[in-house]
Amino acid sequence: MKENIRKNVDKSAKIMTDKWQAYNGLENEFAGHEIVDHEHGENVNGNAYTNTAESWISLQKHGIMSSFHHVSEEHLDRYANEFAFSRIIAM
């Protein structure tokens, strides 16, 4: 997980995640790391929230299951762009 984050996120970014242990230590590599603790009913912690990311993931899952049924790794970026565009239009 961290390798993908390192590869795709600018070091100046402040990262917002849930409390999953795979994210531990990101504050040492990026401008900041804020955590939302869903286990204790927390949806927002100050300025930190994960709702936008969770909503986008839900949109992807629904699109794949209802429209595409399968996505290939080769074209994954195209599917992600399709869902990112749909999210912008919905906002």
**Residue-wise pLDDT tens digits, 52-68:** 666 667 777 777 777 77
Q: Are residues 6 and 43 in the same domain?
A: yes
Where in the sequence is the domain holding 58, given as residue range(s)?
Answer: 51-90
Q: Are residues 70 and 36 in the same domain?
A: no
How many domains are there within the chain? 2
Q: Are residues 25 and 56 in the same domain?
A: no
Q: Are 23 and 48 spatial neighbours (Cβ–Cβ below 8 Å)?
A: no
Q: How many residues does the chain have?
A: 91
Q: Are residues 12 and 27 in the same domain?
A: yes
Q: Are residues 34 and 59 in the same domain?
A: no
Q: Are residues 22 and 44 in the same domain?
A: yes
> Tell me: the pLDDT tens digits for 25-84?
999 999 999 888 878 777 777 777 676 666 667 777 777 777 777 778 888 788 777 777
Q: Are residues 27 and 12 in the same domain?
A: yes
Q: Are strands 44-45 and 32-36 parallel, antiparallel or unpaired?
A: unpaired
Q: Are 18 and 48 spatial neighbours (Cβ–Cβ below 8 Å)?
A: no
